[in-house]
Amino acid sequence: MTVFWVVVGSLIGAALLFVIPPLFKKSRKTVEVDREAVNISIYKNQLKDLESDLAAGDVSQEQYDSSRQEIERRLLEDAEDARQEGMAKADHKGLMVATSVVLAVALPVFAVTMYFNIGNLEGLNPEQASLVQEASPHGNSEAEMAQQIEQMIGSLAQRLQKDPSDIEGWVMLGRSFTVIGRYDDAVMAFGKAYQFAGDDPNVLTDYADALAMANGESLEGQPMELLERALQVDPVNQKALWLLGTAYFERGDFTGAIEYYNRLLKAVPPNSEDADVMRANIKEALTYQKRKERGEFGELAPSTGSAAAIAEAEAAVAGVAAPVAARAEVSGRVSLSAELRDKVAPTDTLFIFARAVDGPPMPLAIIRTQVSDLPRDFSLDESMAMMPSMSMANFAEVVVGARISKAGDAMPQSGDLQGLSQPVAIGTSGLVLTIDSVVP
């Protein structure tokens, strides 16, 4: 009888190896082809209209070149979004053999859930659906779509030969190579962008992503260093938080993953689908941490998350306030002056932050949201610290600021709108902060 059950178990395992991968592969391919077909069809229609305007004299050659470049940029960005959504369905590798039976199922579910909700893959409206129906039967095969991207890569490469310091061009080229799976070339392109952009958090995260893909989807080593540097510049960079959380989960350091996912939870609107997904992911990681503590997985990476962070995460998924002792905190309300309201859009990025009066300029705590939330109550506390030495608990006074960025960049840029408080003591509440000036 024992032999019988061993044989049955082996056959079931073998059957799953044949059944599960095709299911994931089919879903991924269907979504990617549909979305890329829509984008190619839209691109062709827009380009045709633009060429007609040029022939009719309605636009100049300079306007034509600029508009064509913008159309190509949008298409490449959409193609990269589709790739990231599809990539999320691939199996994650890298945990030890002792955990493979459980985690080979857990990791794909963990990753797919997040990317499905961030990507909103099924959001084709009726107009887009008709474009798919129109585009697909008439030859917009994957090969033709790849050819379109190859043509744009050639055009980009020519432009970059003339202007090798074009950061946006290198980023576009890197994303193009990523979309068609040329990861080594993507690493080269993002490396060039990094060379000129320095510590731009978006370039850092794209570069890290490309390096990981070129290295068998492993984030260990340089990719993690780049992601950690991105968070030093932009502590609420959502891609960096997500990738680092995923990396720690793959290590088996579930508490480390929980810390990053809890920070990401704070960075998204509390009642959004993204927040619901993050709470589900945190709950998943908490479950596996408990199983790890019971010794079910054997040898795994040490746990790095703090007890306070785990308690806060448990409270977040339970929907109750975390039972913590008094913490270093500053709270208040931020608003936008009437004189500056015509200079912003509801979707512009709003940063609310605290930094040390006497110390480095890096924020001790930061919230990222949108102008549409103004006026907004806020609370900045020590749990938002990037590192223990840069916690509000280590300083007596802070300056609280709010800044609106058109570019969504955590680093101040000329033209941003901001408001700064005078130095306030840790523990201050009811602070009134007004965004009333323009960054020179």
Burial call 163-177: b when 16+ CB within 10 Å, e when fewer? eeebbebbbbbbbbb
**Residue 103 CB contacts under 8 Å (≥ 6 apart), including other chains:** 95, 252, 288, 297
Q: What CA dihedral angle connects 16, 21, 23 and 28, to 10 degrees?
A: 160
Q: What confidence score (pLDDT) does residue 129 get?
A: 38
pLDDT at 128 > cutoff 60: no
Instruction: Identify the structural domains of the chain with CATH numbers, from first to last.
Output: 24-235 (1.25.40.10), 252-324 (no CATH), 329-438 (2.60.40)
User: Which of 210, 437, 234, 176 shows the shortest CA–CA distance to 351?
Assistant: 234
What 8-state DSSP symbol labels residue 97? G
Higher pLDDT, 317 or 433: 433
Q: How far apart are CA 250 and CA 222, in angstroms?
A: 16
Average pLDDT, rounded, for the chain? 73
Alpha carbon 379 to its chain's center: 24
**Residue 140 CB contacts under 8 Å (≥ 6 apart), including other chains:** 36, 37, 40, 41
Contact 86, 179 (CB under 8 A): no
Q: What confidence score (pLDDT) does residue 144 get?
A: 63
- The greatest distance separating any two alpha carbons of the chain, rounded to the nearest whole angstrom, comes to 85
Q: What confidence score (pLDDT) does residue 126 get?
A: 40
Rounded percentage of the chain residues whose pLDDT exceeds 90: 24
pLDDT in tens, 140-174: 445 666 677 777 888 888 888 888 899 988 988 88
pLDDT at 73 > cutoff 50: yes
- The label of the residue with tokens 């208040």 reads 332
pLDDT in tens, 205-224: 999 999 999 998 889 999 99
Q: How far apart are CA 255 and CA 296, in angstroms?
A: 16
Give the least confident one: 179-183, 290-294, 299-303, 320-324: 320-324
Higher pLDDT, 197 or 81: 197
pLDDT at 288 > cutoff 70: yes
pLDDT at 396 > cutoff 70: yes
How many C-beta atoms lie closer than 10 Å to residue 349's C-beta?
A: 18
Contact 135, 40 (CB under 8 A): yes
Q: How far apart are CA 278 and CA 240, in angstroms?
A: 15
- The label of the residue with tokens 């996912």 reads 261
Structure token digits, residue 414: 């000329």
Quick one: pLDDT band at residue 352, thresholds 50, 70, 90? very high
Contact 329, 381 (CB under 8 A): yes
Structure token digits, residue 87: 């990539």
Quick one: pLDDT band at residue 119, thresholds 50, 70, 90? very low
Q: What is the mean pLDDT of residues 370-394?
A: 83
pLDDT at 226 > cutoff 90: yes
CA separation (Å) from 227 to 80, 213, 327, 365? Answer: 19, 14, 28, 18
CA separation (Å) from 10 to 5, 49, 101, 261, 319? Answer: 8, 60, 13, 36, 42
Higher pLDDT, 292 or 424: 424
Contact 193, 163 (CB under 8 A): no
User: Which of 26, 32, 132 shows the shortest CA–CA distance to 84?
Assistant: 32
3-state secondary structure of 412: coil
Higher pLDDT, 355 or 77: 355
Q: What amino acid is encoded at 37 in this protein?
A: A
User: Which of 368, 318, 374, 324 shows the shortest CA–CA distance to 344?
Assistant: 374
Higher pLDDT, 101 or 393: 393
| DSSP H stretches of helix in 126-269 | 126-135, 142-162, 167-179, 183-197, 201-214, 222-233, 238-251, 254-267
Q: What is the mean pLDDT of residues 37-62?
A: 67
